[in-house]
């Protein structure tokens, strides 16, 4: 695994544990020679993880829409900063440049980005591991909802089981490295067709 796309907040959250855990993940990625592919911002957890990767001698690659560059939130110390026109282009470039994906705590943008990657995996557009860095139990309620979708018959159990959820940064990277896609090729209820 050479690169990981990380989706995370443009805010740091209300508790120091979010920044501390982000710094830990960034340092580990750099130490293991894993490039960071991220949203290109210098603010929030985006800036925190990028700064940690850079401080540990790693490589950080940003992908940011021009509209956010115009708001002066682009990180200026990266090895690569790709400026695109739309959020869709941003997600597509991040998907192409990443071998795996991690969702750290974040808001609507983070949910949008990671859910699109999960959907692309489900549809077979890509086949790359998806993990959730569950800092401070941040994604517990999200997975309550995902489990509800399985129970109600809208998501297949193997699709849910294919998602990695981990609160320890080192274990998270180990699980991504050990990932083996166990999902079936079906996601449609063919008995209704």
Give the pLDDT confidence of 70-122 residue by residue, as tens digits.
Answer: 988 999 999 999 999 999 999 999 999 999 999 999 999 999 999 999 999 98
Beta bridge partners of 65: 84
At 123, the pLDDT band (50, 70, 90 cuts) reads confident
Give the pLDDT confidence of 20-42 residue by residue, as tens digits.
Answer: 999 999 999 999 999 999 999 99
Predicted confidence (pLDDT) at residue 141 exceeds the cutoff of 80: yes
| Domain spans in the chain, listed from the N-terminal domain onward | 3-177
Which CATH code for domain 3-177? 3.40.50.450
Q: Give me the mean pLDDT over the 54-63 stretch.
A: 98
At 187, the pLDDT band (50, 70, 90 cuts) reads low
Helix-helix angle 16-31:44-55, to 10 degrees = 40
């Amino acid at each position: 695994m050479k690169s990981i796309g990380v989706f995370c907040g443009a805010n740091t959250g209300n508790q120091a544990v979010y920044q501390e855990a982000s710094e830990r993940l960034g340092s580990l990625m750099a130490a293991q020679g894993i490039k960071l592919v991220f949203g290109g911002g210098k603010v929030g957890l985006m800036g925190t993880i990028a700064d940690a990767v850079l401080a540990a001698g790693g490589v950080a690659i940003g992908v940011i829409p021009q509209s956010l560059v115009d708001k002066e939130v682009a990180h200026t110390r990266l090895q690569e900063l790709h400026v695109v026109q739309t959020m869709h282009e941003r997600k597509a470039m991040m998907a192409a440049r990443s071998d795996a994906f991690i969702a750290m705590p974040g808001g609507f943008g983070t949910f949008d980005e990671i859910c699109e990657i999960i959907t692309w995996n489900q549809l077979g557009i890509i086949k790359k591991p998806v993990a959730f860095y569950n800092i401070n139990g941040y994604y517990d309620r999200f997975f309550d909802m995902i489990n509800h979708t399985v129970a109600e018959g809208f998501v297949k159990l193997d699709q849910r089981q294919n998602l990695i959820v981990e609160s320890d940064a080192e274990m998270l990277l180990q699980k991504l490295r050990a990932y083996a896609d166990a999902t079936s090729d079906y996601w449609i209820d063919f008995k209704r067709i």
